[in-house]
Chains A and B, each alone.
Chain A
Amino acid sequence: MIPVCLLVELPRGEAYRLDIDPPVSVFHTDDGEVFAIDDTCTHQDASLADGWLEGCEVECPLHASKFDLRTGAVDAPPAKRPVRTHEVFVVDGMIYVQPSTEAPNLPPCIAARLAGEPA
């Protein structure tokens, strides 16, 4: 489990970008729920933490594909594949993320870099 930040440090409607590899973003929704997904849009290297949070969805700031924070599912192109979701725990006011063990769906250049190829 990876500690993220104190819940009180993450206001509702905002996101925290966890700088691990690949990065994960943690969202605190307007309804008070906390979700974690891969930070990188599956279409192009854009940070979803910089995107627009609405309800349980985040819209990629670059090309407007929306991802469901609960399932990682994408609504419409240009992104076609879902993002990974990660388990979140809040213990004594501290947010923790349990990274998924599934393979991530990263955009081509990042996937190549993670595989050790030149980006």
Chain B
Amino acid sequence: MTSTSLPDSLITTLPGSAYTDPEIFAQEQERIFEAMWFCAVRSSDLARPGAFRTVEVGRESILITRARDNSIRAFFNVCRHRGAKLCTEETGEVKRAFQCPYHAWTYDLTGKLVAAPNLTKMPDVGRSEYGLVGVATREWLGYVWVCLAENPPPFDEVVQDVVARLGDTESIERYDIDNLEVGKRIVYDVKANWKLIVENFMECYHCATIHPELTEVLPEFADGYAAQYYVGHGAEFGAEVKGFTVDGSEGLDRIPGVTEEQDRRYYAITVRPQVFINLVPDHVIFHRMYPVAADRTIVECDWLYLKHVVESGKDVSRSVELFDLVNRQDFDACERCQPAMSSRLYAKGGVLVPSEHHIGEFHDFVQERLGTGSSQ
């Protein structure tokens, strides 16, 4: 407990150091991002065998590719010989093998060591044993999730975060996210701690103040209660609103599986530790965070539409503009908080009002993973 007891309406946040201390960030990398399932890339970004992406997961660079049999493979992006970073590009395509630019150790798409200078003179060097070291992968919702843990936790942990919000898995399956197409991708470089971004996404107390356009579309947001405050609740579109667009104008074709109940509603889900999903009848907005430092987070955001909507070149700009605007308003707010996290005034943290109290569960989750017990 804090030295001064709080009024019942308020509970504490994490202390300021949780958002600035590089050592705490290093622990989060090890015990959260390298230990849990981490949403890494959109499967369709790896369209053909040999297409690859490299992503930072915790402190590790991970190379993700598609093998000849079309299976997804993920490896530590480290040559087994002398430790050179194997792939330095963020994205690209190899014809049939990854070759270390240092001594030309060459690995096929399954990670097996297939060639190296003088390798035939070293028959005792096992080609699998000295192949790339793999990490666990799983495809869900059209994304590749990786887990760097030696014994990955059940993937159901990920699914349960969706169930906690929507009440079941069928509700998200109706959006057929696997088969939607990326209509737009925007990458944001946010100068704020990843937890500020999660907290922001979880509450709507700020909505009426910083999101005037969003609150026009979803009038109940003016009450300050986020869709994430409830289970199975979608915020309803305003009566005059035609679609989830920046000006409330008509959206795109509705995803066929979406039920009448889900129509004209907005659902938001936080999948710990680094994914936010927004569901609206005609598209899905899917955020992946890549925390890179205590005070910096890359956020990659996909706007997903029905295939024919994207392929026919329909104008999705008004629907993209709405959430791009929301994102920029949110990230500006997070960046406004970050410098104050190291203020003397914030050493013991701030407070959460009742419509934000559910963020306390996120803080408990972080502290449990870090083994630091309840706050203060």
Chain A contact residues, CB within 8 Å of chain B: 17, 23, 39-40, 44-47, 50-52, 61-63
Whole-angstrom distance from the CB of B186 to the nearest CB of chain A? 37
Stretch at the interface among B111-119, B329-337, B351-359: B111-119
- The closest CB in chain B to the CB of A40 belongs to B120
Closest 5 CB pairs of A and B: A61-B115, A50-B115, A45-B118, A62-B104, A47-B120
Q: CA A46 – CA B114 in complex, angstroms?
A: 10
Contacts A47-B115, A51-B115, A52-B96: A61 and B106 contacting too (C-beta < 8 A)?
yes
Give the contacting residue for B97; candidates A39, A44, A61; CB below 8 A: A61
* CB of B82 closer than 8 Å to a CB of A: no
Contacts of B119 in A (CB 8 A): 46-47, 50
Q: CA A52 – CA B99 in complex, angstroms?
A: 14
Q: CA A52 – CA B121 in complex, angstroms?
A: 20
Whole-angstrom distance from the CB of B372 to the nearest CB of chain A? 50
Contacts of A17 in B (CB 8 A): 120
Contacts of B99 in A (CB 8 A): 62
Q: CA A45 – CA B119 in complex, angstroms?
A: 8
- The closest CB in chain A to the CB of B99 belongs to A62
Contact yes or no, A61 B114, CB < 8 A = yes
Number of B interface residues, CB 8 Å?
A: 13
Contacts of A47 in B (CB 8 A): 115, 119-120
Chain B contact residues, CB within 8 Å of chain A: 96-97, 99, 104, 106, 114-121
Contacts of B104 in A (CB 8 A): 62-63
Contacts of A52 in B (CB 8 A): 96
Contacts of A61 in B (CB 8 A): 97, 106, 114-115
- The closest CB in chain B to the CB of A43 belongs to B117
Contact yes or no, A46 B121, CB < 8 A = no
Q: CA A50 – CA B97 in complex, angstroms?
A: 12
- The closest CB in chain A to the CB of B120 belongs to A47
- The closest CB in chain A to the CB of B95 belongs to A52
Contacts of A50 in B (CB 8 A): 114-115, 119
Contact yes or no, B115 A62, CB < 8 A = yes
Contacts A62-B104, A63-B104: A45 and B115 contacting too (C-beta < 8 A)?
no
Q: CA A23 – CA B121 in complex, angstroms?
A: 11
Whole-angstrom distance from the CB of B119 to the nearest CB of chain A? 7
Contacts of B116 in A (CB 8 A): 46, 62
Q: CA A62 – CA B117 in complex, angstroms?
A: 7
Whole-angstrom distance from the CB of A51 to the nearest CB of chain B? 7
Give the contacting residue for A44; candidates B96, B106, B117, B121; CB below 8 A: B117
Q: CA A40 – CA B119 in complex, angstroms?
A: 11
Q: CA A51 – CA B97 in complex, angstroms?
A: 11
Contacts A62-B104, A62-B106, A63-B104: A46 and B96 contacting too (C-beta < 8 A)?
no
Contact yes or no, A45 B106, CB < 8 A = no
Whole-angstrom distance from the CB of A13 to the nearest CB of chain B? 12
Give the contacting residue for A23; candidates B97, B115, B120; CB below 8 A: B120
Contact yes or no, A45 B121, CB < 8 A = yes
- The closest CB in chain B to the CB of A17 belongs to B120
Contacts of A45 in B (CB 8 A): 117-118, 120-121
Contacts of A44 in B (CB 8 A): 117
Whole-angstrom distance from the CB of A37 to the nearest CB of chain B? 15
Q: CA A52 – CA B114 in complex, angstroms?
A: 11
Chain A CB count within 10 A is highest, among B97, B99, B115, for B115
Q: CA A61 – CA B97 in complex, angstroms?
A: 9
Q: CA A61 – CA B113 in complex, angstroms?
A: 11
Whole-angstrom distance from the CB of B102 to the nearest CB of chain A? 12
